[in-house]
Amino acid sequence: MLLTVDLERLDIQPGHRLLDAGCGEGRHCFGSLYRGATVVGLDLDLDAMREASKNLRQRGEEHGRMGAMLQGDAFHLPFADASFDRIICSEVMEHVHDYRAALRELYRVAAPGAKIAITIPTATSEHLYLRLGDEYFESPGGHIRIFRPRDLAEGMASAGFDTVGCGFAHGFHTPYWVLRSVMHLPDADESALVRAYREFLIRATGSPLMAKLERALNFVCPKSVILYGEKRAEGASRSRDEGAEGDALSAAA
């Protein structure tokens, strides 16, 4: 299963209530359910969730816990305050205009001490795609900003989350999107090279050897950066680690 967030690092435990905001087809939902969490996925794209929602509900019933998907957006979450112990928001913030408002809403539904993982594309890979053509950003549903990880960390801190870790993912996917951009993104699926590389990605997902190689490649050309955070206690002062964590954010910028 191709995941961006390291679910072990997010420390998902049996009994946790998890929200996947921007769940898409539910990769992180299924992974979290298998780790023992009660899972709710939320996304605007109803079609993307339709089949996955049925499967998640069925898997939840088989494991004796809830697995559900709902249509909605990150600005108006249909949940009570402090509803979730763990939150995932993967590859969403680059699509929304007011990401700070979305972060505040995620903070609202986070329980005291909740942990969160937010992923965004690396600025390096985004600038590379931009140099190869405008289609990557001008296509419907495309990205509206190029993030620096430090900007996201500051937005998280302003909302009430302390950043406690940083990771990288999808080193194999950066060349894939470079190839798609070179092949003119709207028509890229017609390219035999693009189709061949996609087949490689599918095969690599299930290969332990390829997984090791990608982990090494994640430090060279990652497509995604993941910030791990914790909900700050009400009234607590903001704390910032200017040591190794600051170096990691600088490296990802």
- Position 142 scores a pLDDT of 66
Of all residues in the chain, the percent with pLDDT exceeding 90 is 67
Asked whether the predicted pLDDT for residue 250 surpasses 70, the reply is no
Q: Would you say 57 and 63 are in contact if contact means Cβ atoms under 8 Å apart?
A: no
- Position 137 scores a pLDDT of 65
- Position 139 scores a pLDDT of 61
Q: How confident is the model at residue 235 (pLDDT cuts 50, 70, 90)?
A: low
Q: How far apart are CA 37 and CA 49, in angstroms?
A: 19
- In CATH terms, is domain 17-232 a member of 3.40.50.300? no
**β-strand pairing of 38-43 with 67-71:** parallel
Asked whether the predicted pLDDT for residue 1 surpasses 90, the reply is no
Asked whether the predicted pLDDT for residue 247 surpasses 50, the reply is no
Asked whether the predicted pLDDT for residue 246 surpasses 70, the reply is no
The whole-model pTM stands at 0.88
What are 91-103's pLDDT values in tens digits? Answer: 999 988 899 999 9
Amino acid at 95: H
What are 146-186's pLDDT values in tens digits? Answer: 888 999 999 999 999 999 999 999 999 999 988 888 888 77
Q: Would you say 24 and 43 are in contact if contact means Cβ atoms under 8 Å apart?
A: yes
Identify the weakest region by mean pLDDT among 177-186, 200-209, 213-222.
Answer: 177-186
User: What's the average model confidence in pLDDT over 193-206?
Assistant: 91
Q: Would you say 117 and 31 are in contact if contact means Cβ atoms under 8 Å apart?
A: no
Q: Which residue has the higher pLDDT, 168 or 243?
A: 168
Q: How far apart are CA 224 and CA 181, in angstroms?
A: 17
The angle subtended at Cα 208 by Cα 207 and Cα 213, nearest 5°, is 95
Q: How confident is the model at residue 136 (pLDDT cuts 50, 70, 90)?
A: low
Break the chain down into helix, strand, coil percent, rounded to 5. 45, 20, 35
Report residue 120: phi and psi, to 5°.
-140, 160
What are 31-59's pLDDT values in tens digits? Answer: 999 999 999 999 999 888 999 999 999 99
Asked whether the predicted pLDDT for residue 244 surpasses 80, the reply is no
- Position 218 scores a pLDDT of 92
- Position 74 scores a pLDDT of 87
Of all residues in the chain, the percent with pLDDT exceeding 70 is 88
